[in-house]
Structure 1
Amino acid sequence: MTRVDEFNSFYTSTFSQALQVMYAVSGDRQVAFESTVDAYRRAWRDWSKIREGNPLAYVRNEAWKLTGLSRGTHPLRRKHEEDSDIQLLEALGEMTVTDRRLIVLMTLGNTDLEEASQEVNLPAEEGIESVTNALAALETKLGQSIDEIERRMNGLGQATASFQQPTPATIRKAAKRGRQRNTVILVAASVALAIGGGFIVTEGDALDSRASLPYREKIGAERTDVVLDAENIDSGNLLTLEQVGQLDVQSVWSVENTDENIDNTTPYATCPVKRFADSDPLKVLVRTWTANGKDKERVAQAIEVSRSTKIADAAYRRLVRWYSDCQHPRVQLVDSYSVKRPAGDFQILLLRSHSTPVRTFTVGFSHSGNVTSTLVHEVDGAIGPRIGSFARTLNNSVSRLCADTGGNCTDLISYQRTEPPRTSEDPAFLGIVDLPPIAEIDRVWVGVKAFSAAKVNPAATGCDRADFSAIKTAKSKLFVIPQAKDLPKEFGVAETIGHFPSEKLAKEFVQTISDRVNECGVKNLTAEVDQRDSFRTTQYVGKTWRISLEVTKGHRITFRGAIIRRGSDVAQVTFTPSGKFDVSSKVFEAVAARAGARLRFGE
């Protein structure tokens, strides 16, 4: 067996157990994961020295030391880890470091008393006395027998089951870079100690010394050589074929192209106005994959290595903005999701092109240290990949980068539907990307810049007679399709927004408008009101309707109207269709709901 094979076998067979031990000892699964991964990197670096001894004990000791270099454990975070035994973790946390480690090693670690005592640097006799007293205290604290406590200890291991174990190759690669880095760090540390004339002493207990230990974003994060590491990023940091294949397991995937040309300016996906969000990146990588199915399924991943985390932050925001400002004919923002991570959230947007054929785009944005990564999935039809699968693939793209970029590695993710990101212009109003396609018109909606609605409300109709003149800051915005042929002059969308002095006054205004619309068909014999509907979320409420008014004998004009309230803010949306240039009541309701979501960006 080669040296590499030997380490791979050791790492693969022991990682899960080592991680479980570190979680029970430290009380924080994210800290445990990061420390355990880093400990295995060190084990590979020192493999020739430790292979003949007890390498697992080496890993556990190194991981325990590393917990003191992380942020420390997070009691508030532990309280929200509902899938774990918080009561047991807290009871263990009240013990001394030695007692806690002994109990965990003898249960989750599957070690005997002599080996466990040796690992914590205690003679066997003292180990017996310590563990006996510790178990007695734990029995009293929890009111359970030793057998019951042992079962609960073993149950703690389930809390780390959601982590994805890094590949052995990833560990070895990171260890190689770490060896080169350590020489510089040790020299710098020696100089700092010489200048400072002293050093800080702690007990090294991650549960007890949080305040006195140095703050680090993660193990190995915020390093002085983070840019040097990021320059080592290559095509090996892109998603693997197997990882991309999880987006559609029914198809056979293949790599179409890998491009590292920094001078290439052609966008690799719909919506972006440029190929890269960083105008002066250190390095770029774009890879595309295709599936063999009939739906022209395609995936693209782009990596941009920036010269600093600040520049990368700006690039990330710019990438999201390109999609939230998307102005392509018949392309609409359908939904948005947030990928929740302890180390920082990512965003997923779902867009749809209503051209022929209909095509769905799922776009994920991730950020790790000084690197931004975009993942785009395209497929014919109205159904994209499962959002859960896409979120995991997006997180996998970060996992392949974070060790090299000073970013945050985690496999603890969840996702939830969120309101869309802000647009660049008049963000409290509907965006171009929110408006639906009209008939077969293959032109882009255009919005005029918001203007005062204090005197005239362009969204008002003869039925609702909505008057925002009491709100001096009220504004309106109009949307039209100027390049489309055959559209009547009155066609378009008008939206007016007003911020009321109180939520009570906003509610009264909405009620007044609703009452006028409801009475319109009765009081005005030339008016017809139908297709009434309403919607409600935890943030906003709204009502929609369709009004038909006879303006001259034999000629009627139709309006689709909506009134939406979010706290003290009210939006009125009116769409004036014409003949076939119309949308369904459900489509209009979705537009009205999006107007409610956009109100969160109001003043």
Structure 2
Amino acid sequence: MRDPGQFDAFYAAARQRLLLQAFALTGDLAAAKRSVRDGFVAAWHHWHKVARQEDPEAWVRPLTWQHAQRRHTAHFWHREGSLAPEHRATLDALDELTSVQRRALLLHLLAGLESDDFCHEVGLTQASARRQLRLATAQFAIHRDIEPDEVGATLLALGDPLEAIRLPRASIIRRSGTARRRAHTSVAVAAVSVAVAGLGLAVSHDATAVASIGGPRGTAVVDTGPGAPTTTAHLDPADLLGGSQVAHLAAQPLSETSTGNNTDGTGLNVPCQARRFADPKAMAALVRHFSTPVDPKKGKPTGLVQVVERSADAKAAATAYDATLGWFSDCAGTRMQLLAAYQLAGAGDEAALLVVRDWASPVTTWTIGVARTGSLVTTLARDVADDHGPDLPPFVSTVGVAVDRLCTADGGTTCATTPRKTLGAPPPGPSARGMLQAVDLPHLTGISLPWVGTSPTKATTNPAATTCDHADFSGSDVTSSQTRTFLVPQAKLPTQFGLSETVGRFRSDAKADAFVSGIEKKMKSCEDRNLTATVEEFRHQPAGPLGETHAWRLSIDVSDSRTIDFWVAVVRRGPVVAQVGFVPVDKARIDQADFQALVERALARLENLPPA
């Protein structure tokens, strides 16, 4: 039995406090008033449950804050003529804080909660919540130009202009709550009737959501149309992975070290990341970092980071997903190497897994999963300070868990089933599409400088050819061609050192096949034609669904005491042929396995070629 008198007393005692909190959170008085009204309407709707709470206000407050964030207009107070300058200054200072910092400050000083109590509401550990509160207090004091011990009084002063605000009478709130309860009951009865009539057929309603920017940093908002139930769309820290979901990804326990909306610092959380946000118009973002204790043997802990971005819609998120993957083909100027690329099936709408190694000391191996569910893109990156191959199955499983925690959140759609990885094409590079990138090239023992690639040019000559094959990509059967060369320019290596690739598109599959066959014949007959040459074919993969591959090691004696080695390969996929040639020197060599892996990457890169 719901007691109107008990509710009315609660409403009278709590409404001004919640109005002040909502106003301080958003700076939008109209949104704050409406959110308080809606919060208490929902409370009366559920009063049989709320009344039994130890602190009913703790039930209403999160709902009120969510409604306020959903409705408010950014920097609304700048257009509010009746607002005093000191109150505008307070709201400006609050706007300088991150979403997490602002919520922590208001929960502590306006809601009266200690960090141990509000850490769950902001999705942080107790230690992180205390740290964010300290930062928020210091930052607010700086931006408001006051002493830290004046912060509480300054925030409470925001309530002065709210004293004259008239909120609906308790009886009006109760009538609205009762009407809402009846409406929900009617919908439930109708749904049961449909289910019975359909003999158990499941019926679902798919409301179209329209997203718009309107919340504070780190928050997105959604309206579901006139008359639809009030919903809030934002990135909730509770939807990120927690310690129990990531514990198996490291030999030692992974502990959360921070959670934020990626507005602090550089905003660069994963290797090769080109900019703070993959979607420049992202509506919201969250980043959570984990770390293990320092390993005394290796000196560097295992790290883990999860990044989530919310785009306006699934189309914009798909673009952000592609941009995120593209970062890992554009690691120019670094010693990063993309070791492997996989597609992940069963992990949201689309997903991929990459293994990247940073050869700079200490050698670090990164395992990176990127997945999209609806308008949400999440990136999970683990770094381990070693040069061993990572254990991938547990990581693949964790990507699925990350998707499952997001797929039912605002903006999420497709959940995970049982994620499975299959080798796939690497992400396209920003330039030289379809060709090798610097990140594909193997590590050179003893060389601490990065590979640098030239810009692609038309293949009027072919630097990847050898004196055995003389392959020419400028003939009439070639409709388009490009060539580029990779060097380590600051390493002061002999001039013959270098790695080159030439790619040509032929008029037909048959023309390309004939071109490759011609190279094969020339390489087989090279020893007969050049007595100083030794040719060893170590890779022969006939044409199949993924293409064909041929690779040779060529040695030419230029004197009694000097021999020049060449690694050369040719790959074909349909009408497209690529030739790769590498000339090592004593100070910069790679082994056969590394070159073979590079040739397979060149074949995979052909999938990145734009349409003819």
User: What is the distance in 1 between the residues matched to 2:347 and 2:420?
Assistant: 12
Q: Does the 8 Å contact 2:456/2:482 carry over to 1?
A: yes
Change (3 A) 1:513 1:351: same
C-alpha distance in 2, partners of 1:518/1:299? 50
Q: Which secondary structure state, in structure 2, belongs to the residue aligned with residue 451 of structure 1? A: coil
| Per-residue deviation, residues 9-44 of structure 1 (Å, max 9, x unmatched) | xxxxxxxxxxxxxxxxxxxxxxxxxxxxxxxxxxxx
Aligned match of 2:221: 227
Q: How many angstroms does 1:375 deviate by?
A: 0.7
Report if the CA contact (8 A) 2:321-2:371 is conserved: yes
Counterpart residue number, 1:57: none
Deviations 1:514-562 (A, max 9, x none): 1211221232111122363234663022111111224467543321100
Partner of 2:588: 581
Aligned equivalents of 1:331, 1:204: Cα separation in 2 = 61
Given candidates 516, 538, 547, the residue that maps to 2:522 is 516
Task: Name the aligned partner's letter for residue 544 of structure 1.
Answer: A
Structure 1 Cα separation of the partners of residues 491 and 347 of structure 2: 51
Cα distance, 1:406 vs structure 2: 2.8
Q: Which amino acid aligns with 2:555?
A: S
Task: Please say if 1:591 is aligned against 2:595.
Answer: no
Taking a change above 3 Å as real, the CA distance of residues 371 and 547 of structure 1, as seen in their structure-2 partners, is same
Task: Assess if the C-alpha contact under 8 Å between 2:539 and 2:551 holds in 1.
Answer: yes
The residue type equivalent to 1:508 in the other structure is A
Separation in 2, partners of 1:442, 1:320: 26
In the TM superposition, what is the alpha-carbon distance from 1:392 to its structure 2 partner? 2.0
Select the residue among 375, 388, 393 that pairs with 2:393.
388
* SS of the residue 2:331 aligns to: coil
Q: 1:266 to 1:344 in 2, by over 3 A?
A: closer
The answer for the alignment partner of 1:352 in structure 2 is 357
Distance 1:267 1:292 in 2: 22
* Pick aligned residue for 1:239 from 214, 219, 241: 241
Q: CA deviation at 1:601?
A: 2.7
User: What is the 5 A alignment of 1:435-514?
Assistant: 435-453=441-459, 455-468=460-473, 469-514=475-520
* Secondary structure class of the residue paired with 1:273: coil
Classify the secondary structure of the residue corresponding to 2:221: helix
User: What per-residue deviation string (whole Å, max 9, x for no partner) do you get for residues 121-157 of structure 1?
Assistant: xxxxxxxxxxxxxxxxxxxxxxxxxxxxxxxxxxxxx
What is the DSSP-based 3-state SS (H/G/I as helix, E as strand, rest coil) of the residue aligned with 2:403?
helix
Is 1:416 matched up with 2:417?
A: no
Q: Does 1:302 align with 2:307?
A: yes
Query: Separation in 2 of the partners of 1:484 and 1:439?
Result: 15
Match of 2:339 among 311, 324, 334: 334
Q: CA separation in 2, counterparts of 1:205 and 1:326?
A: 57
Aligned length: 413
Cα distance in 2 between the residues matched to 1:384 and 1:231: 39
Q: Cα distance 1:230–1:358, how it changes in 2: closer, same or farther (>3 A)? A: farther
What corresponds to 1:542 in structure 2? 549
Q: Which amino acid aligns with 1:589?
A: Q
1:484 Cα offset (Å): 2.1
Give 3-state SS (helix, strand or coil) of 1:404's partner.
coil
Q: Hey, what's the Cα distance between the residues in 2 that align with 1:527 and 1:241? A: 60
Of residues 300, 321, 329, the one that matches 1:316 is 321
**1:230 Cα deviation from its structure 2 partner:** 6.5
Q: Does 1:559 align with 2:566?
A: yes
Q: Distance in 2 between matches of 1:368 and 1:240?
A: 19
Q: What is the CA distance between 1:411 and its match in structure 2? A: 3.6
1 CA distance for matches of 2:374 and 2:257? 28
Change in Cα spacing, 1:320 to 1:255, as seen in structure 2 (3 Å) is: same
Q: Aligned partners of 1:500, 1:340: CA distance in 2, in Å?
A: 33
Q: What is the distance in 2 between the residues matched to 1:362 and 1:230?
A: 33
- Equivalent position amino acid for 1:526 in 2: T
| CA separation of 1:270 and 1:230: change in aligned 2, threshold 3 A | farther
Q: What secondary structure is seen at the aligned counterpart in 2 of 1:436?
A: coil
Residue type matched to 2:567 in 1?
Answer: R
Q: CA RMSD in A?
A: 3.6
What pairs with 1:234-313 in structure 2 (closer than 5 Å)? 234-248=236-250, 250-292=251-293, 294=295, 296-313=301-318
Cα contact 1:221–1:408 (8 A) shared by 2: no
Counterpart code for 2:546: Q
Mapped to 1, the partners of 2:560 and 2:389 lie a distance apart of 49
Give 1:272 deviation, angstroms.
0.4
CA distance in 1, matches of 2:359, 2:419: 30
- 1:513–1:234 Cα change, 3 Å: same
Distance in 2 separating the partners of 1:317 and 1:206:
44
Q: For residues 139-178 of structure 1, what are the structure 2 equivalents within 5 Å?
A: none
Question: Following TM superposition, by how much is the alpha carbon of 1:298 offset from its aligned partner in structure 2, in angstroms?
Answer: 0.7
TM-superposed deviation, 1:240: 0.8
Deviation per CA, 1:287-341, whole angstroms, max 9, x where unpaired?
1111236352110111223344443332222111111222253211111122212
In structure 2, distance between residues paired with 1:437 and 1:359:
13
Taking the aligned partners of 1:215 and 1:460, their CA distance within structure 2 comes to: 62
**Contact 2:556–2:565 under 8 Å retained in 1:** yes
Aligned to 1:364: 369
In 1, Cα distance between the equivalents of 2:511 and 2:504?
11
The answer on whether the counterparts of 1:369 and 1:406 sit within 8 Å (CA) in structure 2 is: yes
* Partner SS state of residue 528, structure 1: strand
Provide the TM-score with structure 2 as the length reference. Answer: 0.60
Change in Cα spacing, 1:517 to 1:235, as seen in structure 2 (3 Å) is same
Aligned partners of 1:221 and 1:407 also within 8 Å: no
Q: Which shows bigger deviation, 286-295 or 461-470?
A: 286-295
- 1:345 is displaced (CA, Å) by 2.1
1:20 is matched with which residue?
none
Deviation digits for residues 364-388 of structure 1 (CA, Å, limit 9, x no counterpart): 1122333322110000223455322
Letter in 1 for 2:288: R
Query: What residue in structure 1 maps to residue 137 of structure 2?
Result: none
Counterpart-to-counterpart distance in 1, 2:309 and 2:303: 20
Please give the alpha-carbon distance, in whole angstroms, between the structure 1 residues aligned to 2:595 and 2:570. Answer: 12
Deviations 1:63-108 (A, max 9, x none): xxxxxxxxxxxxxxxxxxxxxxxxxxxxxxxxxxxxxxxxxxxxxx
Q: Percent identity?
A: 30
Find the residue that maps to 2:518 and give its secondary structure: helix
SS of equivalent to 1:405: coil
Q: Which structure 2 segments of 5+ residues have no match?
A: 1-44, 50-119, 122-175, 188-193, 213-219, 223-230
One-letter amino acid of the counterpart of residue 272, structure 1? Q
Q: State the Cα deviation string for residues 39-63 of structure 1 (Å, max 9, x = none).
A: xxxxxx98979xxxxxxxxxxxxxx
- 2:431 corresponds to 1:425: yes
